[in-house]
Amino acid sequence: MNARAPQPRNVLTQSLAQIGACGLFLLTLLAAVPRSFRYLRETIRQLWFVGAMSLTIIMVCGLFVGMVLMLQLYHVLSIFGGTSASGMVVALSVYRELGPVVTALLFAGRAGTAVTAEIGLMRATDQISAMEMMAVDPVAYVATPRFLAGLIAMPLLSCVFCAMAIFGGHLVGVTWLGIDNGTFWSNMTAQVDVHTDIINGVLLKSLAFGAVVSLIAVFQGFTTPPTSEGVAYATTRTVVASSIAILALDFVLTAFLM
């Protein structure tokens, strides 16, 4: 993967080549997983960086998503006199769609770009080549820990996001708009199912999104041209490609899981 293929002219062949290279890179990553167990400490450091450091933005965004969703639903549902169902609708829409998707988009912007820029700069400053000189496998030491960290962090962040959204919805619905507290919770617990909504909705989706975002971030970092312009370009591409991949994959997963 070190030798960059000559750039084809056609946009279609170019993107196809990108997808193919990305798939091959995934195989390399997975093959390096057993070797990267030696660098467990590095994985934990990355988990701290992509996971724990993203908590603030995830929690604040989750809170506001829950609050605004409740506010909107309350006004629409009050037309039909169904405001008591709004807590349930907030929970279902957050668990099934908004939680995993918004978390993944934020994760791509917060952690994916940082990973791409870091690896890209490592390339630009020849650190990757230096590792190869020292017989340290750069895939096992640099790429796989970041990939695994993203894979572990996304479901956890998604759960935190959902919990904060429920809290925000409760804050606006019960404390401000005056929905009955008991009705809010009982309607929610009556309709939310552990299997379809929490395991399939929150956990499985966010695991898939975490894999896709981390793969794209690490891949873009590794294949960036070793110039400052190339790093900037690769960082942008991480966000664009991740967002498209998340939304497209979300449709496919929803179609299969529902």
Partner 1 sequence: MSQPRSSYAVGTGLFIVLGFAALAYLATQTSSVANVRQGDSYVVDAQFTNIGQLKERAPVKVAGVRVGQVQSITLQPGRDVAEVKLSIDKLYDRIPQDSVATIFTSGLLGDQYVGIEYGSAKQVVAAGGTLARTKSTQPLEEMLGKFFGAGGVVDNVGGSYAVKASFTNVGTLSAGAPVKMAGVVIGSVQSVHADPVKLNADVVLSIDKRYDAIPDDSSAAVFTSGLIGSQYVAIQPGGSPDALKDGDEMILTQSALQLEDLIGKFLVNGSPSDKKDAGNGNK
List residues near partner 1 by CB under 8 A. 41, 44-45, 47-48, 51-52, 55, 84, 91, 95, 152-153, 155-157, 159-160, 162-163, 166, 183, 185-194, 197-198, 202-203
Cα separation, 150 vs 212, whole angstroms: 9
* Residue whose CB is less far from partner 1, 150 or 155: 155
Query: Could you tell me the smallest distance in angstroms from the CB atom of residue 102 to partner 1?
Result: 15
Question: Tokens 């952690």 belong to which residue?
Answer: 111
Query: Could you tell me the smallest distance in angstroms from the CB atom of residue 156 to partner 1?
Result: 3
Cα separation, 68 vs 247, whole angstroms: 21
Query: Could you tell me the smallest distance in angstroms from the CB atom of residue 25 to partner 1?
Result: 26
Question: Tokens 């019960």 belong to which residue?
Answer: 174
Q: Encoding tokens for residue 14?
A: 């170019």
Query: Could you tell me the smallest distance in angstroms from the CB atom of residue 132 to partner 1?
Result: 22
* Residue whose CB is less far from partner 1, 87 or 112: 87
Query: Could you tell me the smallest distance in angstroms from the CB atom of residue 188 to partner 1?
Result: 5
* Residue whose CB is less far from partner 1, 185 or 233: 185
* Residue whose CB is less far from partner 1, 132 or 193: 193
3-class DSSP string for the chain: CCCCCCCCCCHHHHHHHHHHHHHHHHHHHHHCHHHHHHHHHHHHHHHHHHCHHHHHHHHHHHHHHHHHHHHHHHHHHCCCCCHHHHHHHHHHHHHHHHHHHHHHHHHHHHHHHHHHHHHHHHHHCCHHHHHHHCCCCHHHHHHHHHHHHHHHHHHHHHHHHHHHHHHHHHHHHHHHCCCCHHHHHHHHHHHCCHHHHHHHHHHHHHHHHHHHHHHHHHHHHHHCCCCHHHHHHHHHHHHHHHHHHHHHHHHHHHHHHC
| Whether the Cβ atoms of residue 226 and residue 117 lie closer than 8 Å to each other | no
* Residue whose CB is less far from partner 1, 192 or 253: 192
Query: Could you tell me the smallest distance in angstroms from the CB atom of residue 174 to partner 1?
Result: 14
Query: Could you tell me the smallest distance in angstroms from the CB atom of residue 5 to partner 1?
Result: 37
Taken in order 207, 208, 213, 214, the sign of the CA dihedral is positive
* Residue whose CB is less far from partner 1, 128 or 152: 152
* Residue whose CB is less far from partner 1, 17 or 203: 203
